[in-house]
Chain A
Amino acid sequence: EAQVTQNPRYLITVTGKKLTVTCSQNMNHEYMSWYRQDPGLGLRQIYYSMNVEVTDKGDVPEGYKVSRKEKRNFPLILESPSPNQTSLYFCASRRGSSGSYEQYFGPGTRLTVT
């Protein structure tokens, strides 16, 4: 089954404790992206990657890091989480370099930083 998986689904942590949210897709997609969803703000793009070793900032990259060492994986790293990063996070992938293709989303990771 074609899918995007994320782990963990739920995470409660404390300020300053580094964490990684994993994302993997099995569709051989070139493009992957991370979003955060906050009430009333919709989804905002954090980082995206056009292919292996190619990443770029989205609208809200501050406080986040990403890497793309393999085509299928695109982990999101919070090196020093803060309470304002409490949010619902989605990973997504799509094929190709054109924005005309639809994105496939993972199930989401709900992060709480205390």
Chain B
Amino acid sequence: AQSVAQPEDQVNVAEGNPLTVKCTYSVSGNPYLFWYVQYPNRGLQFLLKYITGDNLVKGSYGFEAEFNKSQTSFHLKKPSALVSDSALYFCAVSVHGAGNMLTFGGGTRLMVKP
């Protein structure tokens, strides 16, 4: 069975500082990894994904994530946080060849303070 862990319920950062939201996964096979963001009273929006190739992937709004196969991690990062980045972030995984199930982590609330 596949699973995703987001070890932090909440991450607090000051505006302008770098941010990291952690994600680790467990799958049998090669993973497809995703980050989604949810703003209040909205559906989830796609941020970025890792399918294959370069371990560092860049996405929307200046976010990036690094795939680390040995540590089974896919941490979300941004060099300089904005107050408008405050939202709920979800990491998700599916498996190459069995892509019908998308498994989500529990979510991490990012709070960026001015």
Residues of A bordering B, CB below 8 Å: 4, 31, 33, 35, 40-45, 48, 50, 56, 58-59, 90, 92, 97-100, 102-108
Contacts and interface: CB of A to CB of B under 8 A. Distances in A.
A31 B102 CA distance: 12
Nearest 7 A/B pairs, CB to CB: A99-B99, A99-B94, A105-B43, A42-B104, A102-B46, A43-B104, A105-B44
B26 interface: no
Given A42-B104, A42-B106, A98 B99 contact: yes
Contacts of A41: 106
A95 B6 CA distance: 27
B94 A105 contact: no
Contacts of A35: 104
Nearest to A9: B41
Contacts of B32: 99-100
B45 interface: yes
B106 A50 contact: no
Given A4-B43, A42-B107, A100-B32, A58 B90 contact: no
Given A99-B99, A108-B42, 10 more contacts: A4-B43, A43-B44, A43-B92, A44-B104, A90-B44, A99-B98, A100-B49, A102-B46, A103-B44, A107-B41
Interface in B4-19: 4, 6, 9
Interface in B25-75: 32, 34, 36, 41-46, 49, 51
A102 B43 CA distance: 14
Interface string B76-114: 000000000000001010111011111111110000000
A107 B43 contact: yes
Contacts of B45: 105
